[in-house]
Structure 1
Amino acid sequence: MTEPRWLDATQQLHWRAFVDGNIRLTELLDRDLKSKHGLSLPEYEILVRLSEAPERRLRMAELAANASQSRSRLSHTCSRLESKGLVFRGGCPSDKRGVYAHLTEEGFAALDRAARDHVETVREYFIDVIDPGDLEAIGRAFTAVINRLNAD
């Protein structure tokens, strides 16, 4: 067995800062959306993805991939959104097995309200505290990470 390629002290420091910062920021964003709009961060992300899709609808499989949720988790999340009247699911006319998630007008309005507060929180705790050059580097770095993950 080969020895693991351990992180050096600087790499370990940056890795832990990323893990801690990511967890804490995600928790803050989730708490903020729940308290102000009754939406979890995963619910918000689904509404965003649907709002950006043609006809404000996506097949459930595509939505799961876009929203980084398992199909099972997505199904539960969509059930909660349906009970709130923000999303509805309907069949796919061209594929009897396919199911679409559709953003309702009420869902679009809820997203519009939530997005106004959410962007301020994102700015306050992420965008505005990071130097523009560092923000660009973060974008490049995570594009590389996403590309590596998509290659598998």
Structure 2
Amino acid sequence: MNPVEERFWRALMRVMVALPKALDDDLLKATGLTMSEYAVLVHLSEVAEREMGMTDLAAATALSVSRISRVVNAMQARGWVEKRRDVHDARGSMASLTDEGRRRLSAAYPTNLASARKARRRPPGQELDGSPGRAVRDRRRAARLSSLQDDARIRRLPVLLRPGAVAQPDRVGSPGVGERVNVSPSGAPGADGPSRAKVRRGR
């Protein structure tokens, strides 16, 4: 990866880890639901008859089949979903949303929406924990480096830009060592000449 690709990849990995955790923390604290349970309720509410096969539900929620089974079993114990055998596939099971599960979803939705909007409105370059992001730190570091470089360039300004400074020979026809150049503060020729700076021998 080049530096730009690596910075993008690292930022993406931080978002993939930090954002779900932030959303899960907000939801669990306010409603008692985990993001996995919330995702199950959402997907069941969006399909016909509010029912899905467990394999399809696992794919929709990006959970493994074993993980979705544990989540649905726990939700069934709370009365949020019902689980039954699939009449079309004896090896499969179906999960359906109960009225209580729909009420839980309706109550949790505003919290999840507010949490998502809070993450979206976070100032650009800021991490989920509120600290400056990598992009901000890089810009600050670049600004400090640029400032140091500017200071160094000022110290190395050509003598022609410094009124009364001793010029150093840097090209053919330029003032030599020990010669002074009369230049006004604006950089224009001074009173000694209308169109070009007059060279005066230093004493």
TM-score (norm 1): 0.76
Amino acid at match of 2:38: Y
From 69, 72, 75, the equivalent of 2:69 is 75
Secondary structure at the aligned position of 1:109 is classed as helix
Secondary structure at the aligned position of 1:69 is classed as coil
1:54-82 deviations in Å (ceiling 9; x for gaps):
11000111111111111100000111111
- Is residue 2:74 matched to residue 1:52? no
Q: Residue 13 of structure 1 corresponds to which residue in structure 2? A: 7
Could you say if the C-alpha distance between residues 12 and 87 of structure 1 is closer, same or farther in structure 2, counting changes exceeding 3 Å? same
Amino acid at match of 2:66: S
> Displacement, 1:98?
2.7
> Displacement, 1:89?
0.1
> Structure 2, unaligned stretches of length 5 or more?
125-203
Secondary structure at the aligned position of 1:107 is classed as helix
From 30, 44, 50, the equivalent of 1:36 is 30
- Max radius of gyration: which structure? 2
After TM superposition, the structure 1 = structure 2 runs for residues 97-108 of structure 1, keeping only pairs within 5 Å, are 97-108=91-102
> Displacement, 1:130?
8.4
Q: For the residues of structure 1 that align with 2:22 and 2:44, how far apart are their CA atoms?
A: 23
Secondary structure at the aligned position of 2:33 is classed as coil
TM-score (norm 2): 0.58
Aligned length: 124
Secondary structure at the aligned position of 1:85 is classed as coil
Secondary structure at the aligned position of 1:101 is classed as strand
Q: Residue 66 of structure 1 corresponds to which residue in structure 2? A: 60
> Counting helix residues as a fraction of each chain, which structure ranks higher?
1
> Displacement, 1:30?
0.6
Q: For the residues of structure 2 that align with 1:77 and 1:123, how far apart are their CA atoms?
A: 26
> Displacement, 1:22?
2.1
Higher relative contact order (CA 8 A, sep 6+): 1
Amino acid at match of 1:54: A
Identity of aligned residues (%): 32
Q: For the residues of structure 2 that align with 1:98 and 1:115, how far apart are their CA atoms?
A: 30
CA RMSD, Structure 1 to Structure 2 (Å): 1.5
> Structure 1, unaligned stretches of length 5 or more?
1-6, 132-152
Moved more, 87-96 or 109-118: 87-96
